[in-house]
Chain A
Amino acid sequence: MTPDKKTLVHMYETMNKIRMFEKKLQDFFAAGEIPGFVHLYLGEEAVATGACSALTDKDKITSTHRGHGHLLAKGGDLKLMMAEIFGRKTGYCLGKGGSMHIADLDLGILGANGIVGGGGPLATGAAFASKYSKADTVTVCFFGDGASNQGTTQESLNLASAWKLPLVFVNENNGYGISCPQCKSMAVTDIADRAAAYDMPGVVVDGNDVLAVFEAVSEAVKRARNGEGPSLIECKTYRWRGHFEGDACTYRCQEELDEWMGKDPIPRFEAKLVESGAVSKKEAAAIQDRIAKEIEEAVTFAKQSPFPDPSELLDNVYA
């Protein structure tokens, strides 16, 4: 399944958007301007972009603590995201959620999540609702290698398979759950192997190749829409930054980081686009400039926005 030119350009825009957004946050966090934690998605842009490009606006996703990439790829608004991360009243969650809880139900984003493994059961529910109401929507559940070990994740795989739900489990295997390398947290090399236990397809893809991710997820989405049930796609990737900003990353070595930075998904994709003539070098530069501007606007919007007022504290506890 080769994406059309419009999709290719959109993918390129999305990956750059995520990259620049996260770099901005990295700087602002270092400058002490962002409260709480931020978990950056730098280096993993191809996974969210490839997966969400295989979805329609009506399809749904559940995200994780490292959610900015998923949200942007699903169409999240730069300004509302930035304002939320800065804790402002104009943000997606009125400043109440912050980086780990951004959601946009209208865009099918059932929320980032502070609980590792928290998304699987919710994605199962979203997929069930779709099947129940014959809505023809598919849900993508993003989860990490670490999250794959939670009971909630395994239980969700099982139920989704038993009920043949339209669900695609997209595993982002970046090799670590905080400091814990994959080899210490599980005995399998490929998380995709676990799919066999639930009688669903399990596929390993290069998570730094946006087209490979797109292709695999598109196939799984097609299956899901056809009523054939869930799939598990493992995307091998790497996070460039520490687990959260401020993590000294003593548990991994420079060579490993260098090796993965050499597999930067953005120039790889750009080279393909330029080579195939889908995008010229000049067009690529223009896209980058435009996105940089949009991000500046989002920052200005966030910084000029007011903080919420303490009188709003008790709003929205109940419907």
Chain B
Amino acid sequence: MPEKTYLQALNEALRQEMERDEKVFIMGEDVGQFGGCFGVTQGLFEKFGEERVRDTPITESVIVGCAAGAAASGLRPVAELMFVDFIGVAMDQLFNQAAKMRFMFGGKATVPMTLRMPQGAGIGAAAQHSQSLEAWFMHIPGLKVVIPSTPYDAKGLLISAIRDDSPTVFLEHKMLYGVSGEVPDEAYAIELGKADVKREGSDVTIVATSLMVHTALAAAEKLKADGIEAEVVDPRCLNPLDKYTIIESIKKTNALVIAHEAVQYAGPGAEIAAMAAEEALDYLDAPIKRVGAPFCPVPFSPPLEKAYIPDADDIVAAVKSIR
């Protein structure tokens, strides 16, 4: 299978979906000739033209709302915000409009829009360009929340997100864009709401998302040296959440650690922990542990940023506290 980067995989998904369905179009800031701030839309303007790859003004609330309105009017928009942090400007259009339209209108509206947004720290971009906000989106009924960790998943999940008839928030991690992996050339869809076991193990389940999947895999290698076999489960979607795969893993390992880059307090791990406590407590023989960012904005200075981002040692320590 050919090797591609996460970024190339996303680009390929966009291209193939645009070839397949002319209702699919792209809009966002600098997504045209410039190719997107991180390069995800590179080459698409040249291939599909400015009608279908649309540069917008700096106007996030209209980017999101225009996507919702166009989606409700029969198109299949893929909108990009340059950084997830800018959703603050546009939140009303996402959570009061796009997410609720179908329900409020008694099932009459369909809003098949995809909103792509890069998340995460690691490039010294500081407090307003580095956050991980998946918990915000998980909390809104009506939105689907997709958060791929590998190039393979990125392509298959983006294709599914585009084909899905509900508004879907698609969260990329900027530190993953350059990561390579095997990606088929042809289009393929990965069902939304299906977790993937990234590593099998018998002693502890580590549920990790996005970049933290890779950190968890590194932690698992360290743990292996100490005789602990960790199973790493990547939910890939936070809504719908694949409870079944997580619980099956817990049944096997009897211990749960959850790792994400979002702020730990009221983060996505809180929901996963609560779900495990409600539905799998009998299988747990130790307290559930969470690893997430500390309760502060993302700092600028490199040593602070490094301390902010959870690392493999943090995950190892969490596992060792129960195993």
Q: Which residues of B contact A308 (CB under 8 A)?
A: 299, 301, 303-304
Among B56-64, B103-111, B175-183, B238-246, the stretch that binds chain A is B56-64
Task: Assess whether A179 is in contact with B33, with CB atoms less than 8 Å apart.
Answer: yes
Q: Within 8 Å of chain B (Cβ to Cβ): is A129?
A: no
Q: Which of A96, A116, A251, A309 has the most CB of B within 10 A?
A: A96
Q: Which of A129-187 contact B (CB under 8 A)?
A: 146-147, 149-152, 177-180, 184-186
Task: Assess whether A96 is in contact with B299, with CB atoms less than 8 Å apart.
Answer: yes
Q: Which of A86-103 contact B (CB under 8 A)?
A: 87-89, 93, 95-98, 100-101
Report the Cα distance A88→B127, complex, angstroms: 16
Report the Cα distance A185→B126, complex, angstroms: 27
Please tell me the number of chain A residues within 8 Å of chain B, measured between CB atoms.
42
Which of B37, B126, B306 sits near A36, CB closer than 8 Å? B126
Which of B33, B37, B57, B123 sits near A185, CB closer than 8 Å? B57
Q: Within 8 Å of chain B (Cβ to Cβ): is A37?
A: yes
Among B94-102, B190-198, B279-287, B289-297, the stretch that binds chain A is B289-297
Q: Which residues of A contact B89 (CB under 8 A)?
A: 115, 117, 150-152
Which of A101, A151, A307 sits near B61, CB closer than 8 Å? A151
Q: Within 8 Å of chain A (Cβ to Cβ): is B308?
A: yes
Q: Within 8 Å of chain A (Cβ to Cβ): is B307?
A: yes
Task: Assess whether A95 is in contact with B34, with CB atoms less than 8 Å apart.
Answer: no
Report the Cα distance A97→B86, complex, angstroms: 17
Q: Within 8 Å of chain A (Cβ to Cβ): is B188?
A: no
Q: A37-B125, A179-B34 are in contact. Are A101 and B300 (CB under 8 A)?
A: yes
Q: Within 8 Å of chain B (Cβ to Cβ): is A262?
A: no
Q: Within 8 Å of chain A (Cβ to Cβ): is B124?
A: yes
Q: Within 8 Å of chain B (Cβ to Cβ): is A313?
A: yes
Report the Cα distance A312→B296, complex, angstroms: 11
Q: Within 8 Å of chain A (Cβ to Cβ): is B2?
A: no
Task: Assess whether B57 is in contact with A98, with CB atoms less than 8 Å apart.
Answer: no
Q: Within 8 Å of chain A (Cβ to Cβ): is B128?
A: yes
Report the Cα distance A219→B307, complex, angstroms: 49
Q: A178-B29, A251-B34 are in contact. Are A149 and B58 (CB under 8 A)?
A: yes
Q: Which of B10-44 contact A (CB under 8 A)?
A: 29-30, 32-34, 37
Q: Within 8 Å of chain B (Cβ to Cβ): is A35?
A: yes
Which of B33, B86, B124, B299 sits near A115, CB closer than 8 Å? B86
Q: Which residues of B contact A314 (CB under 8 A)?
A: 294-296
Q: Within 8 Å of chain A (Cβ to Cβ): is B52?
A: no
Per-residue contact bits, chain B 106-134, to A (CB 8 Å; 1 contact, 0 not): 00000000000000000111111100000
Task: Assess whether A87 is in contact with B125, with CB atoms less than 8 Å apart.
Answer: no
Report the Cα distance A80→B86, complex, angstroms: 28
Q: Within 8 Å of chain B (Cβ to Cβ): is A114?
A: yes
Report the Cα distance A262→B57, complex, angstroms: 29
Which of A93, A146, A313 sits near B294, CB closer than 8 Å? A313
Closest 3 pairs between A and B when the two form their complex, measured CB to CB: A36-B124, A98-B300, A114-B128
Provide 27 A-B residue pairs closer than 8 Å at the C-beta atoms, listed in order of the A residue.
A35-B302, A37-B124, A37-B125, A87-B302, A95-B304, A96-B299, A96-B304, A97-B127, A98-B300, A98-B301, A100-B126, A114-B125, A114-B128, A115-B85, A117-B89, A149-B58, A151-B61, A178-B30, A178-B34, A179-B34, A179-B55, A180-B29, A185-B57, A313-B307, A313-B308, A314-B296, A317-B296
Binding site for B on A (CB under 8 A): 35-37, 87-89, 93, 95-98, 100-101, 113-118, 146-147, 149-152, 177-180, 184-186, 250-251, 307-310, 312-314, 317
